């Protein structure tokens, strides 16, 4: 029996990805060592779901991990944890044989690839990102459905600094220098607030055909019950992440200038 979440994702386009994967498996798939690897570091709530459509449209399904079929039917609509992915890789060698790896994994995952991967990611205004994550948790997770914003903030200490942490930042070490160095190593940095512009630059940079169509998985009619005091608290915990976000915006501007004015 299909899971409800899987059924919700079975539109015509996604059925195409499933059929494509099936045909590729019949023909032997592409589970062979690639000559180039890519890593989409999907930071949650930064338009990554929209970017996934471009990945599915531009790569063979059997060259992606996880592809649409694996993500929805095997992984139950969730990425494996980093620990589980590495354990899975020990059995299947996906980090050696797949061309592109996608997921909510930190920059440090690239050390586990067979080849030095080309890394893509998107950054978003930290406050907007955190607010979007809270709405996602309230509408999608039974744990948080009836909880207030203060509970979620207390329960998720990474909420305000997630983007920095994805780059290796650890508050106790106050090692923003490491996060900034890793940011400079990312090959393409897009900005959620400039999504269409980011996709245009990305396509020109790699000569691909990613669509700028935005897929929004949030409930459009959902009204979050949040007080002014909670809004201020949320802004306060997000403040440290702006150091990385502002540098990401600058990095995107530099990439854009290099591509448009070589």
pLDDT in tens, 206-230: 999 998 877 766 667 789 999 999 9
Q: pLDDT: is 252 or 34 the higher one?
A: 252
pLDDT value, residue 204: 96
CA dihedral 163, 164, 170, 173 (to 10 degrees): -170
- The enclosing domain of 108 has a CATH number of 3.40.50.300
* pLDDT value of residue 1: 36
- Where helices occur in the chain by DSSP H, the ranges are 4-8, 12-26, 48-58, 68-69, 82-92, 94-97, 126-140, 149-155, 162-166, 176-185, 195-206, 228-238, 242-260
> Which pLDDT band holds residue 4 (cuts at 50, 70, 90)?
very low
Residues in the chain: 262
Whether omega for the bond prior to residue 74 falls within 30 degrees of 0, making it cis, is no
Q: What is the mean pLDDT of the chain?
A: 92
Query: Sign (positive/negative) of CA torsion 223, 238, 79, 24?
Result: positive
| Domains held by the chain: number | 1
Count other C-beta atoms under 10 Å from residue 236's C-beta: 12
Can you give the residue range of the structural domain that contains 134? Answer: 4-260
- pLDDT score for 245: 98
* Average pLDDT rounded to a whole number, residues 23-44: 87
pLDDT at 178: 97
Strand order across the beta sheet in which 64-65 lies: 64-65, 100-103, 38-41, 118-123, 188-191
- State the pTM of this model: 0.93
142-180 pLDDT, tens digit each: 999 999 999 999 999 999 999 999 999 999 998 999 999
Whether the pLDDT of residue 7 is over 60: the answer is: no
Asked if the model's pLDDT at residue 5 lies above 60, the reply is no
Which residues on neighbouring strands pair with residue 120, listed in sequence order?
Answer: 40, 188
């Amino acid at each position: 029996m299909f899971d409800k979440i899987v059924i919700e994702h079975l539109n015509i386009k996604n059925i195409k990805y499933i059929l494509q994967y099936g045909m590729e498996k019949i023909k032997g798939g592409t589970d062979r060592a690639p000559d180039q690897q890519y890593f989409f570091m999907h930071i949650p709530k930064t338009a990554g779901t929209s970017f996934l459509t471009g990945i599915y449209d531009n790569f063979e399904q059997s060259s992606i991990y996880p592809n649409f079929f694996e993500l929805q039917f095997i992984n139950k609509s969730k990425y494996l944890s980093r620990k589980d992915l590495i354990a899975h890789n020990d059995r299947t060698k996906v980090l050696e044989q797949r061309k592109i790896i996608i997921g909510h994994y930190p920059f440090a995952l690239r050390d586990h690839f067979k080849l030095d991967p080309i890394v893509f990611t998107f950054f978003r205004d930290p406050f907007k990102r955190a607010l979007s994550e809270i709405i996602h948790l309230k509408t999608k997770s039974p744990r948080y459905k009836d909880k207030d914003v203060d509970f979620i903030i207390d329960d998720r200490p990474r909420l305000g600094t997630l983007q920095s942490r994805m780059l290796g930042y650890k508050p106790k070490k106050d090692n923003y220098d490491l996060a900034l160095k890793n940011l400079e190593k990312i090959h393409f940095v897009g900005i959620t607030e400039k999504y269409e512009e980011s996709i245009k630059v990305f396509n020109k940079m790699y000569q691909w055909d990613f669509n700028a169509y935005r897929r929004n998985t949030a409930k459009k009619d959902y009204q979050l019950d949040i007080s002014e005091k909670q809004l201020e608290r949320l802004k306060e915990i997000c403040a440290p992440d702006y150091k990385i976000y502002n540098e990401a915006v600058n990095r995107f501007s530099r990439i854009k200038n290099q591509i448009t004015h070589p």
